[in-house]
Structure 1
Amino acid sequence: MVTRSTKEQIVLAAERLFALHGIEGVSMRQIRVAAGNGNNSVVQYHFGSKDQLAQAIFEYRLPRLHERRTLLVAELRPKDLRSWVECQLRTVLEQSEQPGSHYLNFVAMLWQCGRRDVFESMPEEFRSSVTAFDQQLKALLPHIAEPLRTHRITHAMTSIVHAGADRERARSGGQAVLPFAVEVMSLLDGMVGFLEAPVSEAALATLDGTDPAGVAWRTFL
């Protein structure tokens, strides 16, 4: 039996509840109860606020995710868009296989609730890693004009997270899921096709008078 510290129990309870209800939809008391702790002030003592607790979830999950992506890059030695996207896709979907994980649904819920500010306050080391990976993808898509290129990459990365969240949710509920290899290859085909698709004249025309900042969002994970 795994013995978890009080802080880890709180982080995992918060991850599960935030994934279901969003940060605003959960109280500190509910997190404490879900963590099985009888101390009324234990969550505030360790984390101060729900936003700080959300950051603690990132700090708990991101080291393994970023380490895994780094190992995949070293293993696959990606040279083209498909192999770079595969490194990200495998990393995310492997998280959905982790017992007791609600992390991908937590991230998806943050996005759904418009809490992109939480991503912006990630620890710098992880934001730098995301930025470096983002720049690598951009370099492989020179035919896509900005800000459409950043917008397209963001949506591809978001779609990967949501696919992983669906798989994570199905597994936690005991539902059937596609074999892992089938899911990876099918999604990989779709994401690469989406990213590489040529930009139409109609799409380019929509950029006239558009604020680029409203089109190009930051990626995450």
Structure 2
Amino acid sequence: MSDANTRLSLIETAERLFAEKGIDNVSLREINRAAGQKNVAALHYHFGTRESLLEAIFEHRMSGVNDHRVGMLTQLEHVANDASVRQIVEAMVFPLTAQMESAGGGTNYVRFLSHAISDPNVNVGQLVRNKYDQGMAQTRRIARRMLTHLPGEIVDLRITLAGNYMVHALADEVRRTADTTHVSAFFIANLIDSIVGAISAPASEETLSQFAQVSRIGAKRSTSHEPSKR
């Protein structure tokens, strides 16, 4: 087996085991063994550390998802006046579900991602920042322009929460149905409906009051850290 094929086998084996058992419950030795590697140092040779292995899984899957998402959102920006919130959410959801149903895809990645997001020892943001998160950053920019009844910071937070909800919902549905190839069109449509409602709902007086308080505290902290001018 070539180095490239060995590396891919280790990535996909790790993804599957992490999806099934959780990231902290799988040893590097177990991944080596499950990938059929007689050389116990194979994984260390290709990745060095567990963090580098996680980063390789994201590169293997998320780069394509991100490119698909950026393509959909760029098309939306060309027709900005006619775009809808639902189309923004579709650009969040469809690239991930398309990856799940593609040849060589499957549901291991979304289940792995669900574990990674929930694992306090895995900083997903740090692993993907400026590499595979352009699509979600673009989502936030477009959503801010459309959801003008909400403060931008609230829109950003809702998009982040919606992204996490999307991943966990898809992973939970896969576990519930034990279907390793796809999620039903009904489930996806209803998932999109729920995210549209969540991100576009008006902010309550309680939320706006708490937001104003947090903003004041943040402003005070920022001012206190500014160098004194003499």
With the length of structure 1 as denominator, give the TM-score of the two structures: 0.80
1:97 equivalent to 2:101? Answer yes
Distance in 1 (CA, whole Å) between partners of 2:166 and 2:50 is 26
Q: Which amino acid aligns with 1:92?
A: L
**Residue by residue, what CA displacement relative to the aligned partner does 1:8-52 show, whole Å, maximum 9, x if unpaired?**
110011111222333322211011012111111000000001110
Match 1:122 to one of 104, 114, 128: 128
Q: 1:112, CA displacement in angstroms?
A: 1.3
Q: Which amino acid aligns with 1:87?
A: A
Match 2:197 to one of 193, 196, 204: 193
1:154 equivalent to 2:182? Answer no
Q: Which amino acid aligns with 2:184?
A: P
Q: 1:166, CA displacement in angstroms?
A: 2.6
Distance 1:19 1:28, change over 3 A: same
Match 1:204 to one of 208, 224, 230: 208
Distance 1:142 1:116, change over 3 A: farther
Q: 1:116, CA displacement in angstroms?
A: 5.5
Aligned length: 207
1:81 equivalent to 2:85? Answer yes
Higher relative contact order (CA 8 A, sep 6+): 1
Percent same amino acid among aligned pairs? 29
When Rg is computed on C-alpha atoms for both structures, the one with the higher figure is 2
Distance in 1 (CA, whole Å) between partners of 2:163 and 2:131 is 19
| Structure 1 match to 2:228 | none
| Structure 2 match to 1:217 | none
| Structure 1 match to 2:119 | 113
1:132 equivalent to 2:150? Answer no
Q: 68-77 vs 186-195, which deviates more? A: 68-77
Q: What does 1:39-50 correspond to in 2, within 5 Å?
A: 39-50=39-50
1:55 equivalent to 2:55? Answer yes
| Structure 2 match to 1:7 | 7
Q: Which amino acid aligns with 2:155?
A: R
Native 8 Å contact 2:140 2:155 kept in 1 = no
Distance 1:205 1:75, change over 3 A: closer
Q: 1:183, CA displacement in angstroms?
A: 2.2
Q: Which runs of 5+ in 2 are unaligned?
A: 219-230
Query: What secondary structure, in the 3-state scheme, does the structure 2 residue paired with 1:24 have?
Result: helix
Q: 1:175, CA displacement in angstroms?
A: 8.2
Distance 1:97 1:163, change over 3 A: farther
**RMSD (CA atoms):** 2.7
